[in-house]
Amino acid sequence: MKILVTGGLGFIGSHTVVELQAKGYDVIIIDDCSNASQEVLAGITAITGIEPALEIFDLREKKLVEDFFNKHTDIGGVIHFAASKAVGESVKNPLLYYENNIGTLTYILQQLKKFELPTFIFSSSCTVYGQADELPITESAPVKPAASPYGNTKQIGEEIIRDTCSIMPELKAIALRYFNPIGAHPSAHIGELPLGVPANLVPYITQTAIGLREELSVYGNDYPTPDGTAIRDYIHVVDLAKAHVVALERLLNNKNKSNYEVFNIGTGTGSSVMDVITSFENVSGKKLNYKIVDRRPGDVVAAYADTTLANQELGWTAKNSLDDMLASAWKWEQKVRSIE
């Protein structure tokens, strides 16, 4: 069966393509290569031995989206990653985020409706919860006013899908609310390739350790947490990728309980920034250069998932430990810098 993966050259998309191919699916990628290079295609191929089909165009070009679906009438499912995802950039350039993240979603959904394509997996985010009132966070936790346009596009995206499913009973959709994806494929053929200065913690850590950055700034150690630093639910990108395949197969096998479902995808364990630094130093054997600075505006104190629903309904559980995640991130960083 042919599965369309939009944004399939991205960090999570590429790891999901690998897992789809490992399960025997025929994958076609749409990517505009704005945030990923075609070297990722070589990385995927190096892992699976199968080069996925790739069409390079901008999903904001509605005509090109229509042409694609007119040409590929044998698509059995769609996993939609393509979106802009930098929280800080979204604050500076909200219209880019609303056009790219919302506009392209509507174009894809219009084609699903036109061709009666039955299965759709949406890349959402725990950012929709903001600072949850209760921890761990369940899927029934209230969605809070987004702290950034990026987070708002995920909330709006989920509402658009829900409304579409309500008028299209034949469409089955799942939104996966990711917690904090980190790490890289154990082969180090693919991984996270942040453009410019990383906004996220783990690529900044590995770039500091490899000597690309002077030192890590820890954004605040005065939070009401055991060591004062903020807590997140870090999940290995391969565990997250596998969750997409399981969610897709839930829909393909008609195991879904309604035609729009939401699942938290995390480990269920919260780790502080200092936990991550300690784990990194353990697995790399390197002392990390860091300093404590002020809190970053918009950060929540703590967020980690209640994974009961995904465990029970999807039969999926994250397998990798924090050490596994950081060891794979470090192996990837060393690989990337060795071939520069």
- Residue 98 known to be catalytic: no
Instruction: Give the containing element (helix H, strand E) for 123.
Output: strand 119-125
Pairing between β-strand 231-232 and β-strand 271-272 as defined by DSSP bridges: antiparallel
Of 230 and 318, which CB lies nearer to ligand WQD in the complex structure? 230
Residue from the set 146, 184, 201, 322 that interacts with ligand WQD by CB under 6 A: 201
Measured between alpha carbons, how far is 259 from 169 in angstroms, rounded to an integer?
Answer: 7
Binding residue for ligand WQD (CB under 6 A) from 35, 101, 125, 307?
125
Q: Cβ 273 to ligand WQD, closest distance in Å?
A: 5
**Cβ count within 10 A of residue 221:** 16
Yes or no: say if 11 and 192 are a contact pair by the CB < 8 Å rule: yes
Q: Is residue 183 classed as helix, strand or coil in its secondary structure? A: coil
- Looking at 48-56, 104-112, 133-141, 211-219, which segment touches ligand WQD (CB under 6 A)? 211-219
Q: Rounded to the nearest 5 degrees, what angle is found at the Cα of 60, between the Cα atoms of 249 and 102?
A: 65
Work out whether 213 is an interface residue with ligand WQD (CB under 6 A). Answer: no
- 40 lies in the site for ligand WQD, by CB under 6 A: no
Q: If residue 241 lies in a helix (H) or strand (E), which one and from where to where? A: helix 237-252
Specify the stretch interacting with ligand WQD by CB under 6 A; choose among 30-38, 210-218, 252-260, 329-337. Answer: 210-218
User: In this structure, are residues 202 and 234 in contact, taking their beta carbons and an 8 Å threshold?
Assistant: yes
- 150 burial class (0-12, 13-18, 19+ CB within 10 angstroms)? buried
Q: Give Cβ neighbours of residue 326 (< 8 Å, ≥ 6 apart).
A: 182, 183, 202, 205, 276, 279, 280, 283, 284
Please say which residue, 33 or 288, places its beta carbon nearer to ligand WQD: 288
Instruction: State the catalytic residue, choosing from 25, 150, 223, 304.
Output: 150
Q: Which stretch, 102-110, 113-121, 198-206, 329-337, contacts ligand WQD (CB under 6 A)?
A: 198-206
Residues 234-293 that bind ligand WQD (CB under 6 A): 273
Tell me the window of 36-44, 90-98, 215-223, 252-260 that interacts with ligand WQD (CB under 6 A): 215-223
Considering only 180, 279, 307, 328, the residue that binds ligand WQD (CB under 6 A) is: 180
DSSP reduced 3-state for 272: strand
Q: Looking at 26, 99, 299, 324, which residue binds ligand WQD (CB under 6 A)?
A: 299
Chain contacts with ligand WQD (rule: CB under 6 A): 85, 87, 125, 127, 178, 180, 199-201, 204, 216-219, 230, 232, 273, 296, 299
- Kindly list the catalytic residues: 150
